Amino acid sequence: MAKYDNNLIVIGGGSAGLIVALIAATVRARVTLIEQGAMGGDCLNTGCVPSKTLIRSAKIAHYQATAQRYGVRSVAPEVDFRSVMGRVHEVIATIEPKDSMDRYSELGVNCVVGSARLIDRHHVAVGDERLSARSIVLATGAEPVVPPIPGLADADPLTSDNLWGLQTLPGRLLVLGGGPIGCELAQAFGRLGSAVTLIDMASALMPREDADVAAFIEQTMRGERIDVRTGHRAVRVVPSSGGAGVLHAESESGEVEIGFDRVLVAVGRRANTAGLGLEELGIATGPDGALCVDAYLRTAVSNIYGCGDVVGPYQFTHMASHQAWYAAVNALFGRFRRFKVDYSVVPWVTFTDPEVAHAGLSEAAAAERGIRVDVTRYELGDLDRALADGSAQGWVKVLTRPGSDRILGVSIVGAHAGELIAEYVLAMTHGIGLKKILGTIHVYPTLAEANKLAAGAWRRAHAPERLLRWVGRLHEILR
């Protein structure tokens, strides 16, 4: 049997690659991790961590501006944008050691700095260095797409990659793209004081969500004076100086012009596969640029695997770690046993305010696939804690199999929806039905009670009528 320097080489030290390397080192495999940029990848440096930190500052500003609702005098927030961005970088720096080369080296991972390229199915080049391994995992992530709109590239567009170096709050910010990243950042910048216009060519924001969710978030944005323009297709940009310019967009009512001081592009993310040497090895990518893999995350070359954003289709940190487990285990132990990735319960959260959380089947997906479902909706306007907090906007929507309490999908819109969904994710993953959620003590008064009250709403709508009629008669007799 041929021998190699490593059991495993991992290319990319983001959320996916770090977990693959960690698992490999934990099971005493010899593993080399190659990273060309900052360890921690997008999540730590340009994605989840900076965006959630910025959103927090924006929320504090929003509290100040709306304090009167709570009987406390509202004040116009004085935002020190440099400090806001300073805090973003402080938080990154605080988390950084967890993902650092020092830590991973201590854990037993051989860390290499540089840009990696596949030479053949067992060899990787990093500069002049050549490394070999029995298996290789590609975890090279994705990057923001800047569409080829004439003039856009000359307007020094902001993306999630370069946004975090911004030192001055844009007076007028144009956000292109109404997906999760566009919506989160549009709301945050609006709350920090930018006049934000959010445009999308689709007829609704947040395409992965049900229509009621998208409409609610759009209404919330408009309520915060964000100029939301759905059904607008950007056709060209006329740049002026310093990143400013005018966007020309087509809409049903003709061509419109939108002036901006900075433009933020958030129209999607493309897998990083260029320059890896995939073509030479016959490893295919799909029309969206993502690496083609099978259910075991194997590429066309059976000892080369992929995971995380480079594979998709769910570009989330938690999905990167989920896939990383399968990639690591299949790459190291696949000759004995292989595991298919389980996508049956995929949760995600958009961190707008209110948050939008989702897991499993949506109403739209159920209708599209002809799956019959019962829909139970519990309004947060009924929840004591939400009323006390002044956050009674939103709902819990649960999709169940008709005639059963088995949960097929959940959407939650509301404060801390991202925390609330965890109970349903656990229930769905382990086959726990609504009756068991109803039979679980939930602390009063908490937002989490909404989950139990939604289960209660399901119970009332599915009460055993015949049995109740019979019991009613029994009580008449016993009176």
Site residues (CB under 6 A) for ligand FAD? 11-17, 34-37, 41-43, 46-48, 51, 115-116, 139-142, 160, 181, 272, 276, 308-309, 315-318, 320, 351
Question: E strands of 243-327, at which residues?
Answer: 245-251, 254-260, 262-265, 269-271, 304-306
The residue among 11 and 359 lying less far from ligand FAD, judged by its C-beta, is 11
Prior bond of 354 cis (ω within 30°) = yes
The residue among 140 and 197 lying less far from ligand FAD, judged by its C-beta, is 140
- Min dist CB 406 to ligand FAD, Å, is 26
- Min dist CB 126 to ligand FAD, Å, is 7
- Min dist CB 388 to ligand FAD, Å, is 27
Instruction: Tell me the C-alpha distance between 296 and 340, whole Å.
Output: 5
Beta strands 195-199 and 172-176 are: parallel
Question: E strands of 24-138, at which residues?
Answer: 31-35, 110-113, 116-120, 123-126, 129-138
Beta strands 142-144 and 172-176 are: unpaired
- Min dist CB 105 to ligand FAD, Å, is 17
The residue among 10 and 454 lying less far from ligand FAD, judged by its C-beta, is 10
Instruction: Tell me the C-alpha distance between 253 and 232, whole Å.
Output: 10
* 398-404: Cβ within 8 A, 24+ apart: 398/424, 398/434, 398/454, 398/455, 398/458, 399/360, 399/361, 399/362, 399/363, 399/366, 399/373, 399/374, 399/375, 400/373, 400/374, 400/376, 400/434, 400/458, 401/373, 401/374, 402/372, 402/373, 402/374, 404/433
The residue among 348 and 458 lying less far from ligand FAD, judged by its C-beta, is 348
- Min dist CB 171 to ligand FAD, Å, is 22
Q: How far apart are the first and last CA of the chain?
A: 84
The residue among 293 and 366 lying less far from ligand FAD, judged by its C-beta, is 293
Instruction: Tell me the C-alpha distance between 394 and 219, whole Å.
Output: 12
Measured CA distances, 361 to 25, 287, 322, 429 (Å): 36, 25, 19, 13
Burial class (CB in 10 A: 0-12, 13-18, 19+), 468: exposed
- Min dist CB 112 to ligand FAD, Å, is 9
Prior bond of 150 cis (ω within 30°) = no
The residue among 98 and 377 lying less far from ligand FAD, judged by its C-beta, is 98
The residue among 13 and 414 lying less far from ligand FAD, judged by its C-beta, is 13
Tokens 């999760």 correspond to what residue? Answer: 180
Question: Which residues lie below 8 Å from residue 241, measured CB to CB, with a gap of 6+?
Answer: none
The residue among 184 and 405 lying less far from ligand FAD, judged by its C-beta, is 184
The residue among 180 and 409 lying less far from ligand FAD, judged by its C-beta, is 180
- Min dist CB 224 to ligand FAD, Å, is 19
- Min dist CB 138 to ligand FAD, Å, is 8
Tokens 């020092």 correspond to what residue? Answer: 102
CB 263 within 8 A of CB 245: yes
For residue 174, give the H/E element and its range.
Answer: strand 172-176
The residue among 115 and 230 lying less far from ligand FAD, judged by its C-beta, is 115
DSSP 3-state of 315: coil
Of 23, 12, 3, 14, residue with least CA distance to 109: 23
- Min dist CB 271 to ligand FAD, Å, is 9
The residue among 129 and 255 lying less far from ligand FAD, judged by its C-beta, is 129
Tokens 């989950």 correspond to what residue? Answer: 451
Question: Which residues lie below 8 Å from residue 95, measured CB to CB, with a gap of 6+?
Answer: 40, 44, 49
The residue among 305 and 351 lying less far from ligand FAD, judged by its C-beta, is 351
